[in-house]
Chains A and B, each alone.
Chain A
Amino acid sequence: MATSDSSSSPSSSGTEFADPNPSTDPETNSERVQSQLESMNLSQPSEVSDGSHTEYSGGDDDDDVASANGNEGGVSNGGLVREGVAGTSGEEEMEVSLRVENPVEMEAGEEPPSPTSSGYDGERGSSGGATSTYKADDVSEDEIREANVDGDTASQHEAAWLPGKRHVDEDDASMSWRKRKKHFFILSNSGKPIYSRYGDEHKLAGFSATLQAIISFVENGGDRVNLVKAGKHQVVFLVKGPIYLVCISCTDETYEYLRGQLDLLYGQMILILTKSIDRCFEKNAKFDMTPLLGGTDAVFSSLVHSFSWNPATFLHAYTCLPLPYALRQATGTILQDVCASGVLFSLLMCRHKVVSLTGAQKASLHPDDLLLLSNFVMSSESFRTSESFSPICLPRYNAQAFLHAYVHFFDDDTYVILLTTRSDAFHHLKDCRVRLEDVLLKSNILSVVQRSIAEGGMRVEDVPIDRRRRSSTTNQGQDTAVPDVSVGTGGPFGLWHFMYRSIYLDQYISSEFSPPVTSHRQQKSLYRAYQKLYASMHVKGLGPHKTQYRRDENYTLLCWVTPDFELYAAFDPLADKAMAIKICNQVCQRVKDVENEVFLQGASPFSW
């Protein structure tokens, strides 16, 4: 049973994470919370019957501060929260009412047969402990569970994931196609298919037409369809002018995140083509976009894949490769010189992590643009083989027009991207790259980068154990099942993983995965839990949520939001709450201690 509560609590200090409410009666509150969750579309009915550990934390017990500034958003209890969710204003209201009151029925017979076992076994991260309880379909995420049992690839997921489109031979008549857990479609407003995650676009022309008919039918009534629920499936729609995007999913992800994924998918398309495609449709509704996107299957499938492993897709922040402060500064200085010579953005990247980046004066790069850009570069094989000069559009910077990107890989992982407005700048950028490479080699930065990517980032094991506090716990006679040792089971006191997002820097740092969260499936499951947490903390109109403590059979999750940062931490489901809170404080302290190494500091080009 999953219970949680979001409470509005003071954030004035932002330096100490206190137990939100140790004295609230858990019985009544968990009921209240459950109904609140239902109204938020967050509850998981399949798990309700399991009456295992329930913990609850409500409002803050520090009355002085709470009365001072705790309730700006008017959210002080579950009742009000529920009202807020049910919608009192704006777009949120429309979305909710569409969900609740106007469920548009799917065409009869269109609903794919549900996979056999109930529930979503990806959510059962830790209960069994043994990885053998997972069916090993790690080869491709979100696929039918029964198929593709490829046991030997289960652990090394990154190596096993193959870019490009799979199952091209399928169409909507194929049973296997219908059973896929997550579909993405892009189509034009005349119903012509543009992209489908699975299957051949042309064979899916009929299905594509059906989607357009549904969207257009609702549009004709002066309305807009956002979400259709059909059993376990959610059908999420996003209309971007003449482009329709649809996700059909039974992955139990939140509506908000699925919609965010469609937004990113659209952004990726704009990055390749710019919004001038809208004009093509204005002039000619028959316009067939598929040829323009020729050869970009790998870019889209790689982005879809990243929805399940890259927190940047829902945190809307980027992450840096951990580096000694001086080295990152030195790199930044060289990149700054490059920008001074008329380059708009200069980025040195290692995989999807930033080594350093600079922008020309007043130019700011949105984290989503950075995500889409690095995905495009990383997933296009041809960038690796030679230095390239390619038109690229940054949708958040200027969706209407192309920039030109010079891309060069120094090694398998490390690459430079130089973005300019000038289409004749290739030779200049090449010279810049040569100079940059020179400095990088002389100062040994490239090999430090290689070492850093091999070593990985922060580890939960590195979070210092406060011996004094630990012994006090033991004195209180904790359950022996509580793993309060750091060896072999993640960090201290059952800390399994954390993510820390700095609001001002638009950056996040996430710990490396440690046992027991080792398999890709477990990692994906944890990310999905984080996504739900993130969504529940960012619901519009809910006021300033500050802390959330949530426990189910898989994890104990703690979230702490302040004006400066957001912390998401996952613990063993049996972890002690008081200790978990203390550990969270230590994590924040730890991040602050090393912030010069894990974040790109200084004059951020990201300040809007």
Chain B
Amino acid sequence: MPSRRRTLLKVIILGDSGVGKTSLMNQYVNKKFSNQYKATIGADFLTKEVQFEDRLFTLQIWDTAGQERFQSLGVAFYRGADCCVLVYDVNSMKSFENLNNWREEFLIQASPSDPENFPFVLIGNKVDVDGGNSRVVSEKKAKAWCASKGNIPYFETSAKEGTNVEEAFQCIAKNALKSGEEEELYLPDTIDVGTSNQQRSTGCEC
């Protein structure tokens, strides 16, 4: 626990299986890309230190599995998230249509204090595929969806080529940071003189 205050931000990445969540994270954290698809099991965790406006903070990135069979892990994984990143594949309409489900699922499971203003970021990945010829979700359509959900920031990326990945995560960090600013009031009690409500046994059972 160093004296200089650093902030830790928990970032959850959600989206259908195969849209490139793990690849985005790998590109961002390790600057690496692999064409091989390896399904994430449960969740994967990576950390990255980021400098933002003279402040140092750490992104704790929760890369979750897209397959439905892992969704039971929801509550446990989403608890206390500072930002949620939704990812879809611009070449797959289904992955775009599922964004609503992912967003709602997250809000239900994580139950943030202010769901209306919880920071999401949308990423449309795989813009490099086939020179953009196989693309089925237009930028306009994606932006319209973002606008309807309270102006979610939108980025189009290629995890393979590294396009826009850094920028997207900068924005993620910024939004996550904003959401964490207001609260954190730690107001402990002191024991009253008159009413000595002494507790004989607390939770400890040793």
Contact = CB atoms under 8 A, between A and B. Distances in A.
Interface of A: 188-193, 195, 201-210, 212-213, 216-217, 219-220, 240-241, 259-260, 263, 266-267, 273-277, 280, 283-288, 290-297, 316, 363, 368, 391, 393, 395-404, 421-423, 608
A295 B190 contact: no
Contacts, number: 164
B206 A397 contact: no
A205 B10 CA distance: 9
Contacts of B79: 189-191, 216, 285
Interface string B1-17: 11101111010000000
Given A192-B60, A193-B8, A220 B72 contact: yes
Nearest to B62: A209
Contacts of B185: 280
Contacts of B183: 283-284, 287
Nearest to B79: A190
A212 B72 CA distance: 15
Given A202-B47, A259-B206, A288 B8 contact: yes
Contacts of B202: 275, 395-396, 399
- Residue among A290, A291, A292, A368 with the highest chain B CB neighbour number at 10 A: A291
Interface string B114-158: 000000000000000000000000000000000000000000000
A391 B62 CA distance: 37
A206 B45 contact: yes
A239 B43 CA distance: 21
27 contacts: A193-B8, A206-B46, A206-B47, A207-B45, A209-B62, A213-B73, A213-B76, A216-B75, A217-B42, A240-B203, A263-B204, A274-B188, A275-B202, A277-B186, A280-B185, A280-B186, A284-B113, A285-B79, A287-B80, A287-B184, A290-B1, A295-B3, A363-B196, A368-B204, A398-B191, A400-B199, A402-B188
Mostly, the B contact residues are loop
Contacts of B45: 205-207, 209-210, 213
A192 B189 contact: no
Interface residues on B, range: 35 or more
A209 B35 CA distance: 27
Nearest to B113: A284
B198 A398 contact: yes
Contacts of A240: 203
B189 A276 contact: yes
Nearest to A421: B191
B43 to A, nearest CB: 6
Nearest to A241: B203
Interface of B: 1-3, 5-8, 10, 42-43, 45-47, 49, 58, 60, 62, 72-73, 75-77, 79-82, 110, 113, 179-180, 183-193, 196-206
A293 B193 contact: no
B190 A421 contact: yes
A293 to B, nearest CB: 5
Contacts of A203: 47, 58
Contact of B190 (A190, A201, A291, A401): A401
Given A316-B206, A396-B204, A399-B203, 4 more contacts: A202-B47, A216-B76, A286-B81, A395-B204
